[in-house]
Structure 1
Amino acid sequence: MGWWSRESLGEILAEGLKKHPDKGFHVHSVVRPYSGTFADVEVVARRLAAGLRARGVGPGDVIAFQLPNWMEAAATFWASALLGAVTVPIVHFYGPKELGFILDNARPRVFITAERFGRMTYTPEPSAHVPIVGVVDRDFDDLLAAEPMPGVLEVDPAAPALIAYTSGTTRDPKGVIHTHQTLAFETRQLLSGYEPDRGRQLTALPVGHFIGMLGAFLFPLVEGTPADLCDEWDPTRVLALMNSDGVAIGGGPPYFVTSLLEHPEFTSDHLRRFGPIGLGGSTVPAAVTRRLTDLGLLVTRSYGSTEHPSVTGSLTTAPEDKRLLTDGRPRLGVEIRLTDDGEILSRGPDLCVGYTDASLTARAFDDEGWYHTGDIGIVDDDGYLTVTDRKSDIIIRGGENIAAAAVEDTLLTMPAIVEAVVVAAPDPRFGERAAAVLRLKPGHPMPSLDEVRQHFAAAGVARQKWPEELHEVDDFPRTPSGKVQKHRVRQHVAEVGRRSGMSIEQKASHA
């Protein structure tokens, strides 16, 4: 249908580098800062490409990297694309177990990593079978040839370009395969919806997460905007950068925006540096979009996944209720439909071509090419989708389904609550009950179960949907994109129940 082009990622990169060599490339890091231009980083990338080419690496070979948001990560991704290789980004805080599984599954020819960053420390065992290993701060520079590799190696644009591993829940990570064509379309599609002259945007998502990688290393080249990266999410430092360097936050998972608004050093000057805010990558509560709108910000929501990055989204010109309360309409070229039980199925030009595990592909894709997302949603009369829950997040209480997201939205309208996660807890009578895990505003006491019940009653929520168990946390376990890892929250709630043996009211009082 004309959605795909014949360009490879390497050709797209080379064109962007040719057009915008003088754009700034900045890494805002305490441990490894960098300031240069696209042209400066291109020299490192082409020297790395030449060094790897001399070692026999070429089109179709797999190059994996586990690096923070550093210049060397950009050089590795660009070198891989110029070589026509398959890139495997790995989030920097994966431990030896997850790293070992990914390297065994992807079988890379090359693995680039760091000597040390935060809790990550290089150990040779997981990559012992990888022929070429480069460690930043140790021997990475040994891989760089004296002369940069010219040009771009030819590759079939329908061939794999990226394997992105999703965060595992009850099993090992899943390897999602994207081609040059699916990623090129994703890039064009997202950039077409961006506001012009957005200025310097700070990339906080880890580049080991594939949308973070594209946002940091591909989108700026195509758009012709500077690249600004931070390797650690520290709201205090980010607020300082907004003032000193003029960088802005364009959105992402809600946590990256709300953690700034909650910070005691946040001022009206910071607020003026926000442009339109696009929220996605995790559940977007209506209470958050309303709060941002009340502050004068223009907010949109979107929906996608590693498998299908951009399923739906709203334009900034859409009616306010659609922008704030729905996840938008299907994006260009994308189709969606709902099954009888409300599961969202999607297909389109940016949909992945499957998993490295053929059995997973067979389960997730049907014969007509529809991807079964595992998400539950509704579509209104105007074609706007609202994602209401994950299939796995439905709480079945006495045979009745309770959508966790709806309970979370009501909790977030309580003044003391910053973030709420609702999961199923075992119940001897009803099978399951709603357990609410709360992150509170500084200085606010934990609400009692009676206060929560009164709030839900005043909101007109059916009694069976009221939380029946409360827990407090300082923060939640999160994926690289800031999404709360609900399976770990469930484990925490279940473990508290096993340890305490308390009644529901006792648990709430104890919490």
Structure 2
Amino acid sequence: MRHIPTDLVTRYEREGWWTRDTIGDLLTRGLDAAPETEFRVHSTVRPWSGTFGDVELVARRLAGGLRARGVGPGDVVVFQLPNWMEAAAVFWASAFLGATVVPVVHFYGRKELGHILGETKPKVFVCAEKFGRSEFDADLCADVPIVGVVGRDFDELLDAEPMDGTVPTDPSGPALIAFTSGTTRAPKGVVHSHQTLGCETRQLADRYPPDRGKQLTAAPVGHFIGMVNAFLIPVLDGTAINLTDVWDPARALALMKSDGLTVGGGATYFVTSLLDHPEFTSGHIPFMKYAGLGGSSVPAAVTTRLAALGIIVFRAYGSTEHPSITVSYYTAPEEKRLFTDGEAAPGVEIRLADDGEILSRGPDLCLGYTDMTLNELAFDDEGWYHTGDIGVLDEDGYLTITDRKADIIIRGGENIGALEVEEILLGLPGVAEAAAVAAPDSRLGEHVAAVLRLKPGHTMPTMDEVREHFDRAGVAKQKWPEELHRIDDFPRTASGKIQKFVVRQDIATLD
């Protein structure tokens, strides 16, 4: 893992950011305190209703079954599931066992999932038999010793007797590996310890408004923040868990009225898709009192629109590597909440390099990557994380993101590596050169725009041809281009590299 300076370790322990609790310890105390708390899955294909105690029983039976099969601290458990009860059971069971859990977003395709399984070499893999475009592929997990398929044989992993307590494990050791797409061709594995994950969970819980109501979680639990918001924070707070496995604005609006559920933010798409829906009325505003936005670019047009409706907007900035770099609290001045990405979170330090790149370090910063070569590029000997983002600080210490050095597109909170998209585009007949860049999206923040330079005598592919090509490549649909543009030649640096920032700026003028 990356080098963490001794003085930082001492400080985080002295100031209470890092404790001796494991994630299993945190869950056990929270579940013991509120066993009757509601747990519901709002789904058309796999609805479920029960309590924390009901789900904990499944989790502890699963922990018992896995322990009997030799799973314990140091072993890796991968799950690729929608926002279902079984996802919570797998996560909680892994925590009780002291195993390292690897959540995978349910829409990742064969290519991404195959890379993750090869990178982590899990002892256990749990997935859905079928959900949406995803379907169980026995060949992909042929080398995994223990496989459970929800909808087929998952229950066979459950022991008759639930496992008591937690298996002792080192709180500074790996608790979670979260995969995020970046500038490389394959997702990057980000390793968090019990201490960094526990710190992040407490950080988020402490800054949420106490009167936020019963939250509906639509963000995928296979994503870092979706998982924390769904399966950790409610247990710490003793508040109800309400999940939906497909984001349907009409269903969310109906649940506000029928069940009193609230939507409290996330990526801008979740909020704007509600406001833009024809069934949205002023009667829904009381169920959208707050909007904590982050995970993708947050246009000022969106924050001011929400504020005009009386919704209290507050923003945050972070990443899977460093989840809470800056925050603006719901009590902060409106100008800061609407137009900046917040101030340094408690315990976190930020500074700007000479070129404006944001450097951060803090008790919720990850241990590093599964690919050790990436650690040397992202972390320095003083413990600073080089984010790849460019920003400015105002006189009050509030940060505003102005540009991005890293070559990624953030669509609805999901990172998409431009290089991976470009390599697939180059497989299209007649494509000489390709650039994938972020294009503004009023719902999702950004989406993929493909800019192509063609070989002489070739015609531009149609959008249908591009979609079929990406489908055959087996990548997640979120990575498919949603705009196509042709260019005679790209703007370039003196060394011939494509100037992506110029392409992004000029994309609206391309034919």
**2-structure distance, mates of 1:148, 1:435:** 50
Residue equivalent to 2:62: 48
Q: 242, 263, 281: which one pairs with 1:249? A: 263
> Match of 1:377, SS?
strand
Q: Name 1:201's counterpart in structure 2.
A: 215
Match in the other structure for 2:22: 8
Shift, 1:436, TM fit: 8.9
- Take 1:359 and 1:434, find their aligned partners in 2: how far apart are those partners? 25
Distance in 2 (CA, whole Å) between partners of 1:207 and 1:498 is: 42
Give the Cα separation in 2 of the matches to 1:435 and 1:113.
32
Partners in 2 of 1:286 and 1:247 — Cα distance? 26
SS at match of 1:130: coil
| Local SS of the residue matching 1:125 | coil
Question: What is the aligned counterpart of 1:144 among 151, 155, 158?
Answer: 158
What aligned pairs does 1:312-323 form with structure 2 within 5 A after superposition?
A: 312-323=326-337
Deviations along 1:135-162, one digit per CA (max 9) or x if unpaired, are 0111100000001001111001000000
In the alignment, residue 353 of structure 2 is paired with which amino acid?
Answer: T
Tell me the alpha carbon deviations over residues 285-329 of structure 1, each in whole angstroms, 9 at most, x when there is no partner: 111100100111111110000000000011122111111000110
Is contact 2:24-2:98 (8 Å) kept?
yes
Q: 1:112 & 1:434 partners in 2: Cα distance?
A: 33
1:30 paired residue among 16, 41, 44: 44
Distance (whole Å) between structure 2 residues aligned to residue 157 and residue 508 of structure 1: 50
Deviations 1:103-129 (A, max 9, x none): 000011000001000000101111111
Gaps of 5+ in 1: 395-403, 406-424, 426-431, 442-471, 478-483
Write the mapping of 1:426-445 to structure 2, written as runs, cut at 5 A.
Answer: 437=439
SS in 1 for 2:73: coil
CA distance in 2 between counterparts of 1:268 and 1:66 reads: 37
CA distance 1:492–1:274, change in 2 (3 Å)? closer
Q: 1:39 to 1:498 in 2, by over 3 A?
A: farther
Q: What's the C-alpha RMSD, in Å, of the aligned pairs? A: 3.1
The gaps in structure 2 that reach 5 residues or longer are 1-10, 411-421, 423-433, 444-462, 471-476, 490-502
Contact 2:177 2:191 in 1 (8 A): yes
Matched, 1:307 2:285: no
Indicate the residue corresponding to 2:272 in structure 1: 258
Dislocated runs of 4+, deviation >3 Å:
432-441, 491-494, 496-499, 507-511
State TM-score, norm by structure 2.
Answer: 0.80
Over 3 Å counting, the alpha-carbon distance change for 1:344 and 1:272 in structure 2 is: same
Amino acid across the alignment from 1:264: P
Q: How does 1:119-268 map to 2 (within 5 A)?
A: 119-268=133-282
The one-letter amino acid of 2:178's match is: A
Whether the 8 Å contact between 2:361 and 2:384 is mirrored in structure 1 is yes
Higher RCO (CA 8 Å, separation ≥ 6 residues): 2
Normalised by the length of structure 1, the TM-score is: 0.80
SS in 2 for 1:127: coil
Rounded to whole Å, the distance in 2 between the matches of 1:68 and 1:302 is: 25
Match of residue 356 from structure 2: 342
Aligned residue for 1:363? 377
C-alpha distance in structure 2 between counterparts of 1:55 and 1:92, whole Å: 26
Count of paired positions: 434
Secondary structure at 1:103 match in 2? helix
TM-aligned CA distance change 1:141 to 1:169, over 3 Å = same
In structure 2, what is the Cα distance between the partners aligned to 1:437 and 1:389?
Answer: 13
Deviations 1:226-279 (A, max 9, x none): 000000011111111111111100110101000000000001111121122110
